[in-house]
Homo-oligomer: A and B are copies of this chain.
Amino acid sequence: MTSTPAPLTPVDPARLTEVLDGRWAQVRRDAREQLGSARYAPVYGESMPQARERVTALTRELAATGRVSLGFPRKYGGADDAGGSVVSVEMLAFADLSLMVKAGVQWGLFGGAVQALGTKRQHDAYLPDIMSFALPGCFAMTETGHGSDVQQLRTTCTYDPATQTFDLHTPHEAARKDYIGNAAQDGRMAVVFAQLVTLGEGRGVHAFLVPIRDEDGAPMPGVTIGDDGPKAGLLGVDNGRLSFDHVTVPRDMLLDRYGQVAADGTYTSTIANETRRFFTMLGTLVRGRVSVGGSAGSATKVALEIAVRYGDVRRQFAAPGEDREVVVNDYRVHQRKLLPALATTYALHFAQEELVSRMHDVLGAGEVDEAAQRELESRAAGLKVANTWHATRTIQLAREACGGAGYLAENRLPALKADTDVFTTFEGDNTVLLQLVAKGLLTGYRDAFGSLDGWGRAQFVAEQVRETVLERTAARALIQRLVDAVPGRDDDVALTDRGWQLRALEDREKHVLGGAIKRLRKGAATPGTRPFDVFNDVQDHVLAAAQAHIDRIVLEAFVAGIERTADPAARALLSRVCDLYALSTIEADKGWFLEHGRLTPTRAKALTGAVNDLLGELRPHMRTLVDAFAVPEAWLNCAVLAEEPGRQQAMAEHDAALRAAGAEPQQDATATDLQMAPAQ
């Protein structure tokens, strides 16, 4: 049933790198060439104070290179290049993740908020010092008691026309700002998100520029600063807590692009609806979420490079009765771990590249296109989820694939694991973000501002959800053509037929979504049900729809990426990697495809065989696939990659000498006779 494409030929990794580098190739190359030294590599075994000191100094150095300013306006020395700024952060993530987060806080979140929510007066006053790191700052949104529900933040900022100042206040401990980067040590100022109250009326969440430390580093009057202390990772980032005890904030420190308070307390905004205003403001901050997804991808690539290169030299057991060298990458089960993860990493890379490109165009469009912005946010949420969960899973398997060596700090994997762990819950908890994606699917972005209590009023859902017409991503014409070309009866189609793969994921998305809608409608129509219960009863189904949507989007992006590949050998290899992504994704949810008659049992079994065939076919190209990530060797900073080949060589020579002397230890134990060294 499986078609037999021509055998793969060796590929120059540089040809793949060209494709992966994409639209911001220049930014990527510049980072490799100018920053690709040991100076930016991670350092292991530091204490928290040491790590903070080093990373702060490095952040200052980085500022001096000017490489952090891409996203800022040209008039202040930037390049108005939102896409480039995100790709810069992604590149830092190959090196040191504390530095990446520290830079992301300073220039992405703090600087980005001033840029997006402030006006010219504030830009003039603060952007130059923000860009140079002369003014280290914080992005103080999250509260201890409110992570995900930002619209319900409890910090208040109340205007007093008599003094023409705001009174910023933390009403109770659950309202303190928490997990705030740059707060515990370096921050001099913070963008604080709080409920604006003026003339006795709440106007929703707004952002205020608030000095938190004086020139000497002492907290400003009324500001209490706490330290979040040691964390699982990211030791170089000084996360902390901020509380405000009736702190006076001058009127002109309200970042007032979307809402203004006049001297007499009158509130004005071009966006009348409060919720719509809130989401418009937050929508301008999407870069952060896109950066986290991309950075998770970078960390995943480093982990896979380490595991693949280690697995190419490391031996485990001798092949019984043969002189053949068997390294761990030759084992089927090892391939079953590493290769689908590698294929998914490629797929997500192309999806991320497409997202960055779309983000760049939407943010740079001048006029706000609300539909495009909603869709961008949904895509950013979905890919942040996919990238960060994939990173957590893959770094874990890479760590395990390196055995005891993977547990030693000197081999990088512990840092990758610890530093990226928080990615699944910051910049939006992944589960909550999946819900955001699902909401987009259910409402089809229609009426997104007017009726935001969507699932809450389940009746609304029953009436308003769009028919499940899927939007296409890039290369939409090509994809439609491939899908349309698939003959009607699945069983006649090769599993490697791209159109069949695309259609399988598309069909699943439609069906799962349709099923969730039916259940929501039925629940809403049942007398006496409460909206929360109706929604909650279907929550797992709804999130499955979001996941199916993300899988489809990612496959389409991979197909579009292959389409852009000119080199024939590279294209053939990518095509095979794409097969593995598609088929292993379908295999992972085989239960659904069987349950819904989309796969016959016979074809399901063939699917497992096809995945295994692909593993065999891709085995010789594993090294090429990781080399193509073009991670500077100095950034890897992994002891075992430097040492292991020499060790294995010495061992092989020693064994050969023993064999020659007829004194080799007996070889009757084989891969099946396993006794492993106990724990230490």
Contacts and interface: CB of A to CB of B under 8 A. Distances in A.
Contacts of A322: 530-532
Interface string A76-119: 00000000000000000000000001001100010000000000
A476 interface: no
A601 B600 CA distance: 11
Nearest to A113: B678
A263 interface: no
B288 A333 contact: no
B407 A678 contact: no
A17 interface: no
Interface string A43-56: 01101100000000
B101 A540 contact: no
A218 interface: no
A6 interface: no
Interface in A373-424: 392, 396, 399-400, 403-404, 406-410, 413-414, 417-418, 421-424
A320 B453 contact: yes
B231 A670 contact: no
A536 B413 CA distance: 28
A648 interface: yes
State which size class the interface on A falls in. Answer: 35 or more
Contact of A331 (B334, B530, B539): B539
A591 B604 contact: yes
Contact of A677 (B104, B147, B604, B650): B147
A318 interface: yes
Contacts of A320: 453, 456-457, 531-532
Interface in A597-625: 597, 601, 604-605, 612
Interface string A140-156: 01101101111110100
B174 A427 contact: no
A110 to B, nearest CB: 10
Interface string A576-613: 00000000000101110011110001001100000010
A202 interface: yes
Nearest to A144: B647
A439 interface: yes
Contact of A407 (B204, B231, B288, B324): B231
A404 B433 contact: no
Interface string A530-564: 11100111011001000000000000000000000
Nearest to A668: B453
A409 B105 contact: no
B427 A321 contact: no
Given A320-B457, A453-B673, A145 B651 contact: yes
Given A651-B172, A663-B202, A680 B139 contact: yes
A353 interface: no
A318 B152 contact: yes
A220 to B, nearest CB: 20
A320 B679 CA distance: 52
Given A282-B675, A669-B275, A537 B400 contact: no
A422 B409 contact: no
B452 A668 contact: yes
Nearest to A283: B675
A678 B109 contact: yes
A421 B421 CA distance: 13
Interface stretch (A25-33, A175-183, A343-351, A502-510): A175-183
A239 interface: yes
A663 B646 CA distance: 71
A169 to B, nearest CB: 12
A430 interface: yes
A2 to B, nearest CB: 16
A13 interface: no
A679 B427 contact: yes
A221 interface: no
Contacts of A288: 678-679
A464 to B, nearest CB: 12
Contact of A48 (B45, B148, B595): B45
A336 interface: yes
Interface in A648-677: 648, 650-651, 654, 663, 665-677
A109 B540 CA distance: 46
A194 to B, nearest CB: 11
A431 B282 CA distance: 46
A301 interface: no
Contact of A204 (B425, B531, B666): B666
B674 A452 contact: no
B651 A426 contact: no
A18 interface: no
A222 interface: no
Given A109-B680, A651-B145, A668 B333 contact: no
Contact of A105 (B139, B232, B400, B680): B680
Contact of A678 (B139, B278, B321, B423): B139
A399 B233 CA distance: 13
A667 B543 CA distance: 24
A319 interface: yes
A298 interface: no
A330 to B, nearest CB: 7
A646 to B, nearest CB: 8
Interface in A1-60: 44-45, 47-48
A293 to B, nearest CB: 11
A266 interface: no
A331 B439 contact: no
30 contacts: A109-B679, A145-B315, A145-B647, A148-B317, A149-B316, A150-B675, A150-B676, A151-B669, A152-B317, A173-B646, A174-B650, A179-B404, A202-B663, A228-B408, A289-B678, A321-B531, A400-B424, A407-B421, A407-B425, A426-B678, A427-B678, A428-B674, A433-B674, A436-B674, A453-B668, A455-B671, A535-B672, A537-B612, A591-B594, A595-B605
* Nearest 5 Cβ contacts at the A-B interface: A320-B456, A428-B676, A590-B591, A232-B414, A181-B680
